[in-house]
Amino acid sequence: MMKTISFFLLKLPLIVLITAGCQSNKSEFASPNASSSFSVSGESQAIASGRQRTYSGLQYEILSHGTGPRPTAYSMVTVHYTGKLTNGTVFDSSVQRGQPATFSLQQVISGWTEGIPLMQEGSRFRFTIPPHLAYGAAGSPPKIGPNETLIFDVELIRVHH
């Protein structure tokens, strides 16, 4: 009897670990009604209708659909964009300069490397990028402080092949 109890107690942690792995998998994308894991406007908010959230925490809203090709995380792209802080302050804008920007998606913040490939050429998205996918604790002085959430309106003009 003692041997049976000892055997069971030794195997119990293994059984718990195996059954814990049998639970349903979470989707890569959370429900549009899921709560945000980072703060926008000073408090945690539910994601607004029409916005989606990736597993990493990047939020995006499709403002208009394009019909062209999608870039990869390694593509060179031409975009028009406006970047804002959560208080509405514009810190950078190719639209205001009147000249679209061309760059490799390997030379930008992680939020762009992840988000731009969700777009098709000709589409417009709004990205809400948490600090860990932007400039993090270092910020990008003088315009972007530490741990800032950034909001970008992006139009994907061209995917270069």
pLDDT per position as a tens digit, 59-95: 999 999 999 999 999 999 999 999 999 999 999 999 9
Domains of the chain with bracketed CATH:
28-160 (3.10.50.40)
Helices and strands in the chain, H and E counts: 3, 8
Residue 106 burial by Cβ neighbours in a 10 Å radius (0-12, 13-18, 19+) = exposed
Among 10-14, 61-65, 105-109, 131-135, the least confident range:
10-14
Which residues are catalytically annotated?
81, 91-92, 109, 135, 152
* Cis amide bond preceding 117, omega within 30: no
